[in-house]
Structure 1
Amino acid sequence: MKQNIYDHPEFFQSYRTLRESEFNYNDLLEQPALRGVLPELKNKKVLDVGCGMGDFAKYCVKEQAREVVGVDISRNMIEAAQQRNSHERIHYVNMALEDFQLRQHEFDVVVSSLALHYIKDYDVAIKKINGSLKKMGVFVFSIEHPIVTARRNMDNWTVDKENNRSHFAVDHYQEEGERQQHWYIDGIVKYHRTFSTLVNELILNGFQVEQVIEPIPDSKAVKSLPKIINEMRRPSFMIIRAKKVW
């Protein structure tokens, strides 16, 4: 069964409150870095995998994308997207990527923000995305960094007697597979993959890796959210840009 945590009432409300806060990691760190490696979107057809509440889809329209298709497994997310970020050039689909029937060579750009670590079969998803892209199309995605997902319980910061973070522990790195985490609620399922798996599956499925980013906060982000300085000790996110070559 595919996980759909964003339709859990308690989780969704907590997550929505987080994203609507003035300062958060997505808006200060992940999104600026992801948008910074995008190709030009003008007149392009874009697939947004795990579109959430539609903020990125709306960004694409502002960048003059010809059409945007946003797909998300969560009905809550799609309803919020339709309320907050509707546009005549955006089409939202309430469906898991695994079930969504994509036409071959349909999109110029595919983007996924922090969604692929929820998908069990990464290789299948990459094949599907490759098939949906036109030749030389661009795929950009962000995920939780593999050092964050590595440890089995994903409880990685070690604190001292004064409750200060002394170091970030990495363990079980080569043991790929399911991880469960408490994040607002118990039982959040994510999938850990090594960096080599993330990259090699792209190469094996017709992509050329063009850029890998481990975002770090700028001074403005640190001033807005002081705790984000911990990104200098370990990265929360990884962003990969790849081009379809076959």
Structure 2
Amino acid sequence: MKQNKYDDRGFFAKYSEMPRSLGGLEAAGEWTTFRAMLPELSQKRVLDLGCGFGWHCRYVREQQAQSVVGVDLSSNMLERARTMTDDPNITYVHQAIEDIAFAEEQFDVVLSSLAIHYVADIDVLFRKVHDTLTSGGAFVFSVEHPIFTALAAQDWHYGPEGQKLHWPVDRYHDEGAREARFLDHDVIKYHRTLATYVNALLEAGFTLTKLSELTPTQVMLEQNPAWQEEVRRPMFLLISVVKGG
């Protein structure tokens, strides 16, 4: 199933109002951790899967990447990305990330931000990413944490006074589609365990280099009290792997 909610007019309008849509990478709470997991980008050929507005594409070019290809299924996303981009070395491709078919060893770095939990079959995708990377190439991506995706409701258990008592986890090992509510729309996300993510990467031939469940720092907590919720349960999972040993 290739889902394209971002070309729904109402959904896209709401997404465009989100802080990360307006403020870019610095408005994304997980960005500092994600950036630290990226390899040296100078003169690298980079692929961005689920590029959205192209924020990451433009960032890696600022870091002197040789070229960037951004892939996204949404025409709305790519239209906005092209409007915001003035760089002949950034190419945007209208395609589902599951359908990529690039040449072997075409890229040195592949990245993806909060897109892969919309993909039904990660085994195939990870093998494609492995094939298109050069030896020693890096793959860095973020997804919603399995603790967050286990229940479709993706919400707290509340007390009688509306207080957030705890984050419920159920059906954790029952992997598959979840119909979640996001920006007042029903969206299909795919829940899989942490072990499934890691083992799929290992089976594709990658070597794990770093894993983060994004523990909020004191600075993050001081800047935005809402991050206190992330101390109670993880929302993001970030993984970095390389092709080869």
Q: Which range, TM-score by smaller chain?
A: over 0.9
Q: How does 1:158-169 map to 2 (within 5 A)?
A: 158-169=157-168
Runs of 4+ in 1 over 6 A off after TM superposition: none
| 1:47 to 2:47 alignment | yes
Q: How far has the Cα of 1:190 moved from its partner?
A: 0.3
Change (3 A) 1:228 1:21: farther
Q: How far has the Cα of 1:6 moved from its partner?
A: 0.8
Q: How far has the Cα of 1:75 moved from its partner?
A: 0.5
> 1:237 maps to what in 2?
236
Give me the whole-angstrom Cα distance separating, in 1, the residues matched to 2:5 and 2:71: 15
Of 94-103 and 190-199, more deviation after overlay is shown by 94-103
> 2:181 maps to what in 1?
182
Q: Deviations over 1:112-155 (max 9, x none)?
A: 0001000011101101111100111100000000000011x233
Of 120-129 and 99-108, more deviation after overlay is shown by 99-108
> In the comparison of the two structures, how many residue pairs are matched?
244
Normalising by the residue count of structure 2, what TM-score does the alignment of the two structures yield?
0.95
Paired residue type of 1:240:
I
| 1:220 to 2:219 alignment | yes
Paired residue type of 1:78:
L
Contact 1:130-1:206 at 8 Å conserved across structures: yes
Give me the whole-angstrom Cα distance separating, in 2, the residues matched to 1:50 and 1:44: 19
Mark the runs of 5 or more structure 2 residues left unpaired by the alignment.
Answer: none
Contact 2:141-2:240 at 8 Å conserved across structures: yes
| 1:203 to 2:197 alignment | no
Give me the whole-angstrom Cα distance separating, in 2, the residues matched to 1:155 and 1:145: 11
Paired residue type of 2:240:
R
Give me the whole-angstrom Cα distance separating, in 2, the residues matched to 1:72 and 1:190: 16
Paired residue type of 1:34:
F
Q: How far has the Cα of 1:99 moved from its partner?
A: 2.3
Mark the runs of 5 or more structure 1 residues left unpaired by the alignment.
Answer: none
Give me the whole-angstrom Cα distance separating, in 2, the residues matched to 1:163 and 1:22: 31
Give me the whole-angstrom Cα distance separating, in 1, the residues matched to 2:174 and 2:162: 29
Normalising by the residue count of structure 1, what TM-score does the alignment of the two structures yield?
0.94
Q: How does 1:1-246 map to 2 (within 5 A)?
A: 1-18=1-18, 19-21=20-22, 27-151=27-151, 153-245=152-244
Q: How far has the Cα of 1:188 moved from its partner?
A: 0.1
RMSD: 1.7
1:197 aligned counterpart, secondary structure = helix
Q: Deviations over 1:149-185 (max 9, x none)?
A: 011x233311112211111111100000000011123
1:60 aligned counterpart, secondary structure = helix
Give me the whole-angstrom Cα distance separating, in 2, the residues matched to 1:108 and 1:221: 32
Q: Deviations over 1:72-105 (max 9, x none)?
A: 0000100110011331211111111222321111
